[in-house]
With several copies, the nearest count.
Chain A
Amino acid sequence: MLVKVLYFAQLADFAGKSEEQIEVTEKSPASLYADLRATYNFPHEFKQLQVAINHELSAHETPLEEGDEIAFLPPMTGG
C-alpha cells in the first residue's frame, strides 16, 4: 500500500527532501523507519523519535493504513 512520508529538520536534510510517497508491505512504523534509515543514514534510533500519523501524534506501534501521512519527529528544539 502507498503512504506519504514527511521529513523534518535533520531527517529532511539527510533525505534531501521534505516528503515522498513510499510503497510499504508491512503496517509497522518501526519497519518503515528501519527501511528509510537504511536508505538515508538517519542518525536517530526509532525510539528517539515521535510518530505522527495524519498530523496527530500517535503511538509507535500504530498500524499504517493506505494513504496515511506519517512523520518521524526528532526531539523538538523550539523556543
Chain B
Amino acid sequence: MNFLLMEQPIDPTALRAKMLSPRAGAYCSYEGWVRDHNEGKEVAELHYSSYDQLAPSVASQILSEAKERFSVDAAIVHRTGPLQVGDIAVWVGVTAHHRGDTFLACRYIIDNVKFRLPIWKKEIYTDNSEAWIENNHCGCADPANLQIPHKHEC
C-alpha cells in the first residue's frame, strides 16, 4: 500500500529513498507546503481532519488510475492534525522510465488527492479566527464526475 495518513511530520528524504529503482530513469515529486498567508489573511496554523476508514480505498483508486494511465510507480502521504507554517501537508512521489509520464502522473495524483481524498482543512489565523476552507473546485458530488476534475462543470 503506497498511501499513508500520518500525524507526524512528513520526511521527504525517507519517502524518496523508498522510490529508488535501477530501472527508473525519472523521478518527480510534489509537496504541498503550509503558507503563511491565504487570500489576504495571515495563517498561524492549519488543521487537517480525515475520514480514516475511507481515505485508503480512495487513495488506492487514485494510484491505480495513475499507474494504469501513465505506467508509473507512485505513492501518496498526507499529514493530519495540526500543522505549522512551512510543514509539508502532502507529498506525492512518482517514478517511471521517462520524464513525461512522471509529470503527468504526479499532476494527476495531486489534483485527484485534492478533489477526492476525504480530508478537510481548517485555517487558524494570527488573529485567532478560523475557517474551514472552501474548495476551488465545484461542490457537485456525483462520484461519476470526480474522475476528471478539470473537465467537468457544474
Contact = CB atoms under 8 A, between A and B. Distances in A.
B57 A78 contact: no
A71 B138 CA distance: 20
Interface in A34-79: 44, 47-52, 55-57, 59-60, 71, 73-79
Contacts of A73: 51, 118, 141
Given A6-B51, A12-B49, A56-B57, A77 B140 contact: no
6 contacts: A74-B120, A75-B134, A76-B117, A77-B133, A77-B135, A79-B32
Interface of B: 32, 48-51, 53-54, 57-58, 78, 89-90, 110, 113-122, 132-135, 137-141, 143
Contact of A55 (B32, B53, B89, B140): B53
Q: Is the interface of B mostly helix, strand, loop or mixed?
A: mixed
Given A47-B140, A50-B143, A57-B58, A79 B90 contact: yes
Interface in A1-44: 6, 8-10, 12-13, 44
B115 A48 contact: no
B106 to A, nearest CB: 12
B51 A52 contact: yes
A78 B48 contact: yes
Contacts of A78: 48, 50, 78, 89-90, 113-114, 117-121
Nearest to A18: B49
A12 to B, nearest CB: 7
Contacts of B137: 75
A37 to B, nearest CB: 15
Contacts of B54: 52, 55-57, 71
A76 B90 contact: no
Nearest to A79: B114
Contact of A76 (B53, B57, B110, B118): B118
Which of A47, A75, A79 is most buried by chain B, counting CB atoms within 10 A of its CB? A79
